[in-house]
Amino acid sequence: MLVLVAPGQGAQTPGFLTPWLELPGVADRLTWWSAVADLDLVHYGTEADADTIRDTAIAQPLLVASGLAAALALFPHPGEAFGLVGAVAGHSVGELTAAAGTGAITAESAMALVRERGRAMAAAAAATATSMTAVLGGDPDEVLAKIAEHGLTPANNNGPGQIVAAGTVEQLEAFKADPPAKARLVPLSVAGAFHTEHMAPAVERMAQLAKGVTAHDPRVRYLSNRDGQVVHSGRELLDRIVRQIANPVRWDLCMDTMRELGVTGILEVPPAGTLSGIAKRALKGVETFALKTPDQLDEARAFVQRHAEQTPNAMDAAPTWRLVVAPFSGTVQRGTAVEGSVLEPGEHLGLVVSRHEERKLVAEHGGTVLEWLVEDGDPVSPGQPLVRIHPRPEAFV
């Protein structure tokens, strides 16, 4: 199985977009997205220095634009990708790249949202002197306990041996003086405690904007930063992206789901390297590909074919019906709805139950049950289609 991943803030380096502009159409797309983002993305991706592109309001649109541009170069006909890619995930702002890549939102919506996300998070960061520190090594439980002791938030959990603590500058200074045993602290060059309560004002702004964005169900398994679960509702996906601004990124759980799905290859879009490196440490035996420059495209396409799904992607559904899928591994408990049952929007269909949690299955748009694809009590895997529903006509508007 092939998984595509998109990196988050901090992955950008000066001039990283320069070679991509040599490809036909890339400069034109970036010029258009620059108008949407109200930023000269070509300038910032080719000529600006490291300090300039570290600015949250610049870095975030630059990251999303570069990831989408490279994905379109890799898959010139995006519809073909839906039959090859098993799952997608983005780290922090990379979730917007992934959402656009799956067809859940348009590229223009992603660029408008990331423009406002970057501005709102920069404004929230300016309200209080906050920052972030990477904690490398140490016992995970002891690291988390020490982070909590100093009133900090584990803003990023990137897997074994890498947790990022975030909070006020004063809290981080105290943490530096009293670190967890056998851990190394690396202060990050960011001007804000991202994915913590300090970002609450940005959540309010983004929630207002997201209400006006048209969201579609993703056509590929989308793994959420919140808990690593597969999300198949476009509206829920967008709501999660908004809330994630002030909540920790659980990349460790995203990788757990990748492992459970049977991932064999992970391809990271530009500016690539960070997530590929994490995967090499955490997902032993999984091949990785960091797509950094366009001269790697032929090799990247061969990598895609080598790890592509061998069976049709059941989530790439026809537009006349919708799927309800399993969010995680567990056992399905079917409700009373049978073929032909007419459901109200949000009506309960059943449950998926694991040892740790349970999740209600709902018919988000309502409609008529066409077919159950599993039997009561069947084991299910993340993203597995469970039931097909023909939605009400207004759901297509």
Active site residues: 92, 195
SS3 (DSSP) at 35? helix
**Rounded Cα distance, 154 and 143, in Å:** 9
Burial class of residue 396 in the structure, from the number of CB atoms within 10 Å of its CB (0-12 exposed, 13-18 middle, 19+ buried): exposed
SS3 (DSSP) at 171? helix
Which residues, other chains included, contact 344 with Cβ-Cβ below 8 Å and sequence gap of 6+?
363, 366
DSSP 178: S
**Rounded Cα distance, 32 and 13, in Å:** 22
Q: What is the dihedral of CA 219, 221, 223, 229, to 10 degrees?
A: 120
Burial class of residue 367 in the structure, from the number of CB atoms within 10 Å of its CB (0-12 exposed, 13-18 middle, 19+ buried): buried
**Rounded Cα distance, 119 and 133, in Å:** 22
* Lookup: tokens for 303: 């990598």
SS3 (DSSP) at 363? strand
Residue indicated by tokens 């309502």: 366
Are 254 and 229 in contact by the 8 Å Cβ rule? The answer is no
